[in-house]
Amino acid sequence: MLKSYLFFYFVLIIQLFVFSNCIYSQEVKIFTLKDFDLKGTVKSCKVITNYGKEVFEFNKYGLLTKLITRFNATDYEKTYYKYTANGELLEKRVENYRDGVFDKDISIANIYTLDTVSGKKITEKIISYTKEFIDQYEYTYDVEDRLIGVKRTNNTGIDNTQITYEDYKGEYTITYFLNDVILKSIRTSKKEKKPYNKHVLVKEFMGGVPTKAFEQVYNVKEKIINVTNFSFNEKAKQFVPNKVTNYSYNDIGLLAEENTTIDGKKEVLKNYIYQYDNGERGNWIKKIITPDNTFTSRKIEYYIPATTEISKP
pLDDT at 191: 73
User: What are 258-303's pLDDT values in tens digits?
Assistant: 999 998 887 889 999 999 998 878 899 999 999 999 999 999 999 9
When divided into structural domains, the chain yields a total of 1
**In sequence order, what are the residues at sequence separation of 6 or more whose Cβ sits closer than 8 angstroms to the Cβ of residue 54?**
5, 6, 9, 46, 47, 67, 68, 69, 70
What is the mean predicted confidence (pLDDT) over 103-113?
A: 96
Residue 261 maps to a domain: yes
pLDDT at 307: 61
- How far are the Cα atoms of 141, 185, 188, 305 from residue 169, in angstroms, in the given order? 25, 17, 11, 49
Contact (CB, 8 A) for 63 and 30: yes
Contact (CB, 8 A) for 36 and 45: yes
Lowest mean pLDDT among 15-19, 83-87, 161-165, 188-192: 15-19
3-state secondary structure of 19: helix
Q: How confident is the model at residue 21 (pLDDT cuts 50, 70, 90)?
A: very low
What is the dihedral sign for C-alpha 257, 260, 265, 266? negative
Residue 200 maps to a domain: no
What is the dihedral sign for C-alpha 92, 31, 288, 278? positive
pTM: 0.84
Q: How confident is the model at residue 23 (pLDDT cuts 50, 70, 90)?
A: very low
Report how far residue 222's alpha carbon sits from residue 196's, in angstroms, rounded to the nearest whole number: 10
pLDDT at 193: 65
Amino acid identity, position 124: E
3-state secondary structure of 35: helix
140 φ/ψ angles, rounded to the nearest 5 degrees? -110, 140
Q: How confident is the model at residue 199 (pLDDT cuts 50, 70, 90)?
A: very high
User: What are 131-145's pLDDT values in tens digits?
Assistant: 999 999 999 999 999
Residue 184 maps to a domain: no
| Helix locations, the chain, DSSP H | 5-20
35 φ/ψ angles, rounded to the nearest 5 degrees? -65, -15
For residue 115, what are the domain limits? 5-168+250-302
User: What are 54-102's pLDDT values in tens digits?
Assistant: 999 999 999 999 999 998 889 999 999 999 999 999 999 999 999 999 9
pLDDT at 194: 63
Residue 232 maps to a domain: no
Q: How confident is the model at residue 310 (pLDDT cuts 50, 70, 90)?
A: low
Residue 136 maps to a domain: yes
DSSP state of 9: H
Residue 244 maps to a domain: no
pLDDT at 196: 64
pLDDT mean across residues, the chain: 88
Residue 191 maps to a domain: no
pLDDT at 51: 72
Residue 238 maps to a domain: no
Longest dimension (CA), the chain: 87
User: What are 213-223's pLDDT values in tens digits?
Assistant: 999 999 988 99
Report how far residue 290's alpha carbon sits from residue 229's, in angstroms, rounded to the nearest whole number: 23
